Structures are given as structure tokens and as C-alpha cells.
């Protein structure tokens, strides 16, 4: 009875029942401030302050602690073992009298002794708290199909379905997996918050610290309480941090065995309890947990597609003042390849910061809004999560930075941009887009620069790999490196994998006595590369762009159609290309336009590569500084000096090799 709410007369009488001693009293902190840390000093204060006091479940108590009253509520009282004798009855009268005193509505009274243990609930298994998410299902965009699938499973397990199939064994466990930041934690929390059930939610690290060294008792209590509180859900996040395929300690093995036993018991029980786990490293989970009958329902939360990213952006941007239209949403969704939901959230935050700064710098009206330009600027600072684990180069090279090479630019656009921007054309004609493109030609002819410009202009993720980087002295690591590159590229597709000096890994395989242990690694890497390009698993929207100076050394299996479909010869720049290169260079250099004639330089640089033309301009500038450190203009004599130093280094023999290779390829 709450005496503060009593308004009428109160009758006080002596309690005739014999008081029961309390062995353990469980209390819960109900204050509005941060809960106190339960120290040994506070535990002793519980005992001293409440000794010889009478309590029942539901009582509120206040503990004075350093000038503050800490409010608690009693949620459970365990009867002492010494009270069992007092419950025995020696006569029928005692039994009748005891039954008369019993009441369902009246709580039992317990006497607190100094030996009574006081237990404080603070995010432990005895308090199943439904953490209501701040966002709702309506705030999640792009995952409607996944939410519908999860909702169907949850409804069946929790007994929310009106009809049920007898003799049907329900799978009561779900394992959600996907990249970090894709929504493995948010989606279940939002979904479960719409159900009126108790949710036992934990991080795997919390389970490790709380339960692993406690003789596995509490993890059993967790499942027992969840089944007792059914309908209920046990939600464990990042389960991969607990059990991996690597060796486990003895305590971890015992804990794993206990967890497996509890999962098996849950599957066989009739309790409406769902076990939900998440992981970002599916392959690292112990296989005994993933077998059928335990975590047998594995559902992937995929990296958002452009349409999904568009829906997510609409949900996020709608919460901010904006000037967006449908075209802006589609454009940003298209250029954010590999972005997961968390990345898009950060992108919105960065765009908001840029909008505030733009407003302050321009001293505009008090109304602050975000625009598509703010998001385009924020894209320079926000990197997709899926690309952070691999070596990524962010190119900033445009077609306008590369002189000439119109034929090469067209072939690259046909191989990469056309399938992305016009996929219906390829479907209509019944053909598949090319998977790979090989650029070959003399050194210094802008093969690498062209690949970077392609990534910049097409707004694709660009993964730059040097051929020798994939080799390792450890057995199997080289093949694994190739596999990981294409796996990551597939996750952030559409993307470009650029392998420079591909002849280092794609060299022709030796036969007979020529084969030895040194090139076995190269052959295994080549075999893995061939498998990735044309294996059982589809490559998806990943284009391999490779470059080499020695196409004659590449294995013929790599050059066949279906792998490196298009072979593009990048020759030495012709007169028109050299003129374009000089024009681009002169835009950034103070050249005397009267004395320095571009056409004369074009004639003098016949046989020069693009890199050698750039070297000529560099040496001319150094010559001008040598004459006068304060020089502000480049003259004809400076270029004449540079041409004496920089000579063409591409031999006629090498040019013949490229032409023969090109002719042989075309004839085939």
C-alpha cells in the first residue's frame, strides 16, 4: 500500500504471520540520474541501512549515499533456506489456519538480515528491457523486401500468426550478416521495437565479460528467463567476436558447448522465443554454430544498390531543409557506389556542415538549406566503408587532361560506361558487356593516366593494383590476395580493377623442363585470376582494365574473349596528339607565345612518348631558371636546350613488336 495515496481512514493491526528471512533481495535503480557504480562500500551500506527491516516485492527504498538519496525498487525476494521448517504444519488446525492467512493479492513480508545479499539489476539478464528505437520502420528506406521477410519469420516464431501448421518445426534462430554499417543492428532493433515483447539485447563483448568466466551459469539463466518471459527475443550483436574458427581456450570451449546446448534446447522447446544474431564476418563463425538446426537461417543484408541508395537518401534528406528534386536524388545515388547506410548518413552530416559554412561565408538569410552541390562537395571527404579495407586511389584525372587519344577514349567508354548507362541495349541485343580490357604499348604513353581518367569521368570506384603487389612468400596468400581484390570490387560494384604491369602475374605458363618452383606461384596466381574473370561465380559489374609494356609475354588463356575481351594498342602520340599535349602543358606554364611555336615543337618531338614530352617541358623550365632564377617566361632556346637532354627512348625494335602483336591479334 502506498501511504501517500491514502485519503481515508487507515486501520493498523499487528501482523500475525511469522516473518520470513530474506536470503537475497533484488533491487533496480529507478532514479533519473546516471545509475551509481555498485562498489563494495555501497553493498555494505545496503546491509547496514536495511538490517532488521521488513520488505515485500514492489517496495521503494532510498539509500543515503554521499548527500544523495538513491531510489531503488524491490523486484524480487528470495526466501531463506532456514524458513522451510517454519512452513511445516504439525496439525490440521495449523494447516487450516495457514491456508486462511494465504492470499493471492497480499504479498509476503520478508525480514532483511545482515546476511541478506543485495543484488542490483543493471543491464543484466534479469531485466529484459525493450529498447525502443528512436527511428521507426518508416524511416528505413531501401530494405522493404528484407523487412517483410524478417517480419514474416518473427510473426511465426512469436506466435503472432492466426493460423499454424501442426507438426511443423519452426526455425527459431536467424543470423544476419553483411558489411559494417549496412544496418545489421538498426534494422532488427527498429523491427523488434514494433512488437510488444521483451527483448534481451546484448553486444557479444558484453556477454564475454559478464558470462564467460561465471561457470556458464548466467548464459543458461538468460535462455531460461527468455523462455519464461515468452514471447521474447534474444538479440546478440557481433557474434563473431566470441567464437571463431581459430583455436579456443578451455573456458571458451565450455562456453561454446553451453551456448550450443541452449540453442538446441530452444529449438526443441515450445516457447515463442526468437534467437537473433548478427555478424560482419560470416566465415569466421565456428561451423558447429552454423549447422542446420541451430543458426540455420542466414540472411544477408546487402550493400545498397543505386535504387536502394536513392530511397535511403530520400528518407535522410527529407529530415533537413533542402532544394532537392528527383534528378538530384538519382545523381547522388548513382555516384555513391559502395556506400552503405552508415556512409550515407555521414554524407548527409558532412553536407549539412558544408551548407552551414556556405551560409556563414556568404552571410545569407537565416534560412539554411542543403543542396546537391553540398553533397557533391562532401563526397570528396567521405569514403565508402567497403573500400576502406583495400588500397584505393581516388583519381582526379579528366579526359581534358589527356591530349588526343580519341580512339582509345572511345573504346574505353564503350567497354565501361555504355554497359552502366545503357544496360537495356545489351539485353536487347542478347550480348554481355566486356569483362576486361588490355591496354598495351610503349612506356610513357599514358596507359595508367587514361585508366584514372576513365574512373573519374565514369564516377566509378577505382581499385589500383600493381602486378607484383599480389605475390607473397607464403603458400596460398597470393591467390587469396587476388580473390580478395575481386570480392571487394564486387561488393562496391560497379567498379574498375586496374592492374598495372599485368605481365608480372599473367605471364605465359612454362611447360616441360622449363617449369620450376619459382614460377609455380605465378601460375597459381594466373589460375586464380582466370577463375575470377570467367569462373562459376559471376563477376558482376566489375571491369578489369589492365596495362602492359610486353603483351607478347601474357598467357594466351588470359587474352581469349570472355576474359580480356578488348585489346587496345596505345601507340606513340601522333602529331595531333603531341599538339594537344603541348597545349595542355602550356596552359600552366608562362610560355612566350611569340617565339615558341607549338607546331615547331610537334615536328621536333616525332617519336617521343607523352611522358617524354612532359619531360621536355620540365627541362625547359629548369633551363630558364638556370639562366635567371627570377625568370618569368620560357623562350625557344630553353626548349632547344631541353630537346638536347631528353631523347626518345622507344626503339624501333619495340615498335615492331607491338605492331606485329596487333596484326596477329587482328588476323585472329
pLDDT tens readout for residues 343-390: 888 888 888 888 888 877 776 566 778 888 888 888 878 877 756 555
pLDDT of residue 87: 38
- In tens, the pLDDT along 56-82 reads 888 888 888 777 788 888 888 887 765
pLDDT of residue 190: 83
Burial zone of 85 (CB within 10 Å; 0-12 exposed, 13-18 middle, 19+ buried) = exposed
pLDDT above 60 (res 125): no
| Backbone phi, psi, residue 244, to 5° | -125, 175
Stated as kind and residue range, the H or E segment containing 495 is strand 495-500
pLDDT of residue 129: 42
Question: Mean pLDDT in the chain?
Answer: 76
CA dihedral over 602, 608, 610, 611, signed as positive or negative: negative
Which 8-state DSSP code applies to residue 560?
S
As a whole number of angstroms, the distance between CA 612 and CA 442 comes to: 12
Q: Which set of grid coordinates corresponds to residue 37? A: 557504480
pLDDT of residue 568: 84
Strands 110-111 and 232-237: unpaired
Confidence band, pLDDT 50/70/90 cuts, at residue 92: very low
Confidence band, pLDDT 50/70/90 cuts, at residue 20: confident
Q: Which residue has the cell 537495356?
A: 424
Distances (CA, A) of 268 to 5, 197, 228, 275, 372: 48, 21, 15, 13, 54
- In tens, the pLDDT along 410-429 reads 877 877 777 777 777 877 88
CA atoms within 13 A on the CB side of 436: 24
Confidence band, pLDDT 50/70/90 cuts, at residue 124: very low
CB atoms within 10 A of CB 175: 21
Across 330-485, the runs of DSSP E, i.e. the strands, are 436-440, 461-466
**Could you tell me if 383 and 392 are in contact, meaning their C-beta atoms sit under 8 angstroms apart?**
yes
pLDDT of residue 90: 39
Q: What does the pLDDT average to over 630-641? A: 85
As a whole number of angstroms, the distance between CA 118 and CA 106 comes to: 23
As a whole number of angstroms, the distance between CA 123 and CA 205 comes to: 14
**Which carries the bigger pLDDT value, residue 538 or residue 288?**
288
pLDDT above 60 (res 275): yes
Contacting residues for 562 by C-beta, under 8 A, at least 6 apart: 435, 533, 534
pLDDT of residue 206: 67
pLDDT above 50 (res 649): yes
- In tens, the pLDDT along 424-476 reads 787 788 877 777 888 888 888 878 788 778 777 777 777 877 767 677 666 66
pLDDT above 80 (res 502): yes
Helix 610-627 with 575-586: angle, nearest 10 deg: 40
pLDDT of residue 102: 45
**Which carries the bigger pLDDT value, residue 204 or residue 571?**
571
From 400, 462, 434, select the one nearest 539 (Cα to Cα).
Answer: 434
- In tens, the pLDDT along 231-245 reads 888 888 888 777 655
From 416, 460, 419, 436, select the one nearest 534 (Cα to Cα).
Answer: 436
- In tens, the pLDDT along 525-540 reads 888 888 777 754 556 6
pLDDT of residue 369: 81
- In tens, the pLDDT along 173-187 reads 888 888 888 888 888
| Backbone phi, psi, residue 114, to 5° | -70, -25
Strands 68-79 and 20-29: antiparallel
pLDDT of residue 503: 82
As a whole number of angstroms, the distance between CA 309 and CA 333 comes to: 5
pLDDT above 60 (res 640): yes
Q: Which set of grid coordinates corresponds to residue 629? A: 632564377
Amino acid at each position: 500500500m502506498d501511504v501517500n495515496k491514502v485519503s481515508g481512514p487507515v486501520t493498523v493491526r499487528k501482523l500475525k504471520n511469522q516473518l520470513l528471512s530474506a536470503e537475497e533481495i533484488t533491487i533496480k535503480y529507478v532514479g533519473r540520474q546516471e545509475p551509481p557504480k555498485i562498489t563494495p562500500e555501497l553493498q555494505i551500506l545496503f546491509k547496514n541501512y536495511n538490517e532488521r527491516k521488513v520488505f515485500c516485492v514492489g517496495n521503494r527504498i532510498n539509500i543515503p549515499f554521499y548527500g544523495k538519496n538513491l531510489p531503488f525498487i524491490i523486484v524480487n525476494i528470495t526466501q531463506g533456506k532456514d524458513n522451510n521448517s517454519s512452513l511445516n504444519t504439525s496439525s490440521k488446525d495449523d494447516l487450516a489456519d495457514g491456508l486462511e492467512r494465504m492470499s493471492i493479492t497480499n504479498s509476503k513480508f520478508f525480514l532483511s538480515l545482515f546476511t541478506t545479499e543485495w543484488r542490483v539489476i543493471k543491464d543484466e539478464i534479469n531485466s529484459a528491457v525493450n529498447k525502443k528505437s528512436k527511428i521507426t520502420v518508416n524511416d528505413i528506406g531501401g530494405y522493404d523486401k528484407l523487412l517483410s521477410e524478417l517480419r514474416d519469420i518473427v510473426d511465426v516464431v512469436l506466435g503472432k500468426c492466426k493460423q499454424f501448421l501442426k507438426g511443423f518445426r519452426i526455425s527459431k534462430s536467424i543470423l544476419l550478416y553483411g558489411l559494417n554499417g549496412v544496418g545489421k543492428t538498426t534494422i532488427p532493433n527498429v523491427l523488434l521495437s514494433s512488437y510488444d515483447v521483451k527483448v534481451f539485447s546484448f553486444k557479444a563483448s558484453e556477454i564475454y565479460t559478464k558470462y564467460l568466466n561465471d561457470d556458464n551459469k548466467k548464459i543458461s539463466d538468460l535462455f531460461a528467463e527468455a523462455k519464461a518471459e515468452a514471447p521474447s527475443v534474444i538479440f546478440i550483436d557481433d557474434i563473431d567476436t566470441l567464437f571463431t574458427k581459430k583455436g579456443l581456450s578451455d573456458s571458451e570451449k565450455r562456453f561454446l558447448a553451453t551456448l550450443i546446448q541452449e540453442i538446441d534446447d530452444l529449438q526443441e522447446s515450445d516457447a515463442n522465443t526468437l534467437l537473433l544474431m548478427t555478424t560482419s564476418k560470416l566465415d569466421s563463425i565456428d561451423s558447429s554454430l552454423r549447422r542446420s538446426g541451430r543458426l540455420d537461417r542466414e540472411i544477408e543484408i546487402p550493400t545498397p544498390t543505386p535504387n536502394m541508395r536513392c530511397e535511403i537518401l530520400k528518407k535522410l534528406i527529407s529530415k533537413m531543409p533542402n532544394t532537392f528534386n528527383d534528378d538530384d536524388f538519382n545523381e547522388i545515388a548513382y555516384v555513391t557506389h559502395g556506400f552503405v547506410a552508415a556512409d550515407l548518413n555521414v554524407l548527409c552530416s558532412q553536407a549539412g556542415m558544408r551548407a552551414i559554412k556556405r551560409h556563414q561565408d556568404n552571410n545569407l538569410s537565416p534560412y539554411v538549406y542543403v543542396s546537391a552541390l553540398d553533397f557533391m562537395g562532401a563526397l570528396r571527404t567521405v569514403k565508402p566503408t567497403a573500400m576502406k579495407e583495400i588500397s584505393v586511389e581516388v583519381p582526379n584525372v579528366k579526359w581534358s587532361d589527356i591530349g588526343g587519344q580519341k580512339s582509345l577514349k572511345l573504346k574505353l567508354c564503350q567497354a565501361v560506361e555504355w554497359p552502366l548507362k545503357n544496360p537495356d541495349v545489351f539485353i536487347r541485343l542478347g550480348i554481355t558487356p566486356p569483362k576486361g580490357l588490355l591496354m598495351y604499348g610503349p612506356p610513357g604513353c599514358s596507359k595508367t593516366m587514361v585508366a584514372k581518367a576513365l574512373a573519374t569521368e565514369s564516377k566509378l570506384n577505382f581499385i589500383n593494383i600493381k602486378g607484383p603487389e599480389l605475390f607473397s612468400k607464403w603458400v596460398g596468400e597470393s591467390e587469396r590476395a587476388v580473390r580478395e581484390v575481386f570480392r571487394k570490387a564486387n561488393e562496391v560494384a560497379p567498379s574498375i580493377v586496374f592492374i598495372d604491369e599485368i605481365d608480372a602475374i599473367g605471364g605465359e605458363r612454362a611447360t616441360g623442363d622449363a617449369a620450376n618452383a619459382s614460377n609455380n606461384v605465378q601460375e597459381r596466381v594466373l589460375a586464380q585470376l582466370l577463375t575470377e574473370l570467367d569462373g562459376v561465380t559471376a563477376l558482376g559489374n566489375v571491369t578489369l582494365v589492365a596495362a602492359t609494356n610486353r603483351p607478347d609475354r601474357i598467357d594466351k588463356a588470359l587474352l581469349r574473349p570472355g576474359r580480356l575481351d578488348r585489346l587496345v594498342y596505345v601507340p606513340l602520340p601522333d602529331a595531333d596528339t603531341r599538339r594537344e599535349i603541348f597545349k595542355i602543358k602550356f596552359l600552366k606554364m608562362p610560355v612566350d607565345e611569340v617565339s615558341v611555336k607549338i607546331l615547331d615543337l610537334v615536328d621536333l618531338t616525332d617519336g617521343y612518348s607523352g611522358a617524354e614530352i612532359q619531360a621536355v617541358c620540365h627541362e625547359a623550365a629548369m633551363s630558364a631558371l638556370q639562366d635567371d632564377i627570377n625568370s618569368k617566361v620560357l623562350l625557344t632556346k630553353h626548349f632547344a636546350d631541353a630537346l638536347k637532354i631528353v631523347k626518345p627512348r622507344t626503339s624501333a625494335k619495340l615498335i615492331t613488336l607491338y605492331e606485329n602483336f596487333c596484326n596477329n591479334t587482328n588476323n585472329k
